[in-house]
Structure 1
Amino acid sequence: MTIFDATIDRSTLMYRLGLLTRRWRQILDAQFQSAGLTDATWRPLLHLDFLGDGCRQKDLAAAVGIEGPSLVRLLDTLVAKGFVERSEDAADRRAKLLRLTPEGREVVTRIRATVTTLEDDLLSPFSDDDIARVAEVIGRLESTVGDARRRGKR
C-alpha cells in the first residue's frame, strides 16, 4: 500500500492536500505551456488581478509565495512582455506599484477561462453541498494555519 492508497486521516491530510495542490498546478502548467505561459508567468498575473491595480511588489510576492528578489526577476519578464507596468509609489519612493496592462488583462482573461473550464470539469462529480462543506473545512484550516504561522513568527 502506498500513501496514495491510504485512507485520508489526520496523519495524511496535510500531505495529501499538498500533493493535490501540486498535481493541480501541474495540470494548469500543462494547459498554459501550450499558450506560451509558464508557472512563473501566469501565477503572478493571476494574483495581481486578484490584488488589483496599484498593489505593491511586496504584497504580490507574499501572495505568490516567493521572495522579493525572485519576484523582481519575474516582473522584469512580465514588463518586457508588456503584461505589467511598474510605477513609483508617491508615498514611499522605495516601493513599486504594479498594474496590469491591457495586454496583461487579456492574458488574465484567458487564464481565468482555462481555470474555469478545468475546475468545472474536475468538480463536476461533486454537488454544491459537497463543495460548500469542503470550502468550509478549507477556510477553517487556512485560519488555523495562519494562526500557527503568526505564533511561529513571535
Structure 2
Amino acid sequence: MSTKTVEKPQGDAVFGTILPERETYPYPELSLTIRIVMAGRRWRSLIDEHLRQKGHSASRMEAMASIAYAPAATTQIQVAKRIGIEGPTLTRTLDLLEADGLVERLPDPNDRRNKHMKLTQRGLEALAEMFQITRNLRAKLLDGVPVDDIEATDRFLSQLVDRIETGLAESNAG
C-alpha cells in the first residue's frame, strides 16, 4: 500500500466552497462523510434560494410538512423533535408562520399547557407550492441518474440515518 502525503488544503475544505479532490483524503470514509455534509448543505441552500423567491424557506417548509403529515394532532415539542431542531428555533419559525396566516395554534383539550399545530387552508396551499418547487429542483438534479443508483443511495442513506439515530439514543442513555 502506498503512502500519500496529505497536504492541508486552502480554505475550509470540510464545510466551505473549496473541496479538495478525492485523492487528497487519507481514507474514503472521510471523503464520504464530507460529501454527505456538502451535498446536504448545498441542496438546502439551493432550495432556500428558490423558495425565497416566493417568500418561503426550507425551514418553513420542514415545519409545515411536519405539521401537515403528523399522524395525529401534534404539539410544538413533537414537531421540533421530528425535524431535529431546538424548541426556541421552532418557536420563532412558528410565530412567523402564524403571523402570515399559514399555521394555527389550537388549545389541547386534554392539557391546557400544550397547543396543537394545524395548517390553515392558506398554509396547505403554500406547502403545495413549496413542494412543487422542490419537486422541480429534484427532477433537474436527478435527471439522467440511473434509478438503480438513486435507490441504492436512498437505501444507504436510510441505513446511515438509522445508525446515527441509534448511536445518539445509545449515547444519551449511558
How much has 1:4 moved relative to structure 2?
4.1
Say whether residues 1:21 and 2:37 are aligned partners. no
TM-score (norm 2): 0.80
Say whether residues 1:5 and 2:45 are aligned partners. no
Q: Which is greater in Rg?
A: 2
Say whether residues 1:72 and 2:91 are aligned partners. yes
How much has 1:50 moved relative to structure 2?
2.9
- The code of the aligned residue for 1:63 comes to R
Say whether residues 1:131 and 2:150 are aligned partners. yes
User: 1:122 maps to which residue?
Assistant: 141
Q: Secondary structure at the match of 1:30?
A: helix
TM-score (norm 1): 0.90
Equivalent of 1:109, from 128, 131, 146?
128
Of all paired residues, the percent bearing the same amino acid is 27
Post-superposition CA distance 1:48-101 (Å, at most 9, x none): 223256211111112232211221222111111100001121222222110100
Gaps of 5+ in 1: none
Q: CA RMSD in A?
A: 1.9
Gap change, CA 1:53 and 1:31, over 3 Å in 2: farther
Q: How many residue pairs align between the two structures?
A: 154
User: 1:49 maps to which residue?
Assistant: 68
Gaps of 5+ in 2: 1-8, 14-18
User: 2:167 maps to which residue?
Assistant: 148
How much has 1:34 moved relative to structure 2?
0.8
Q: Distance in 2 between matches of 1:126 and 1:93?
A: 50
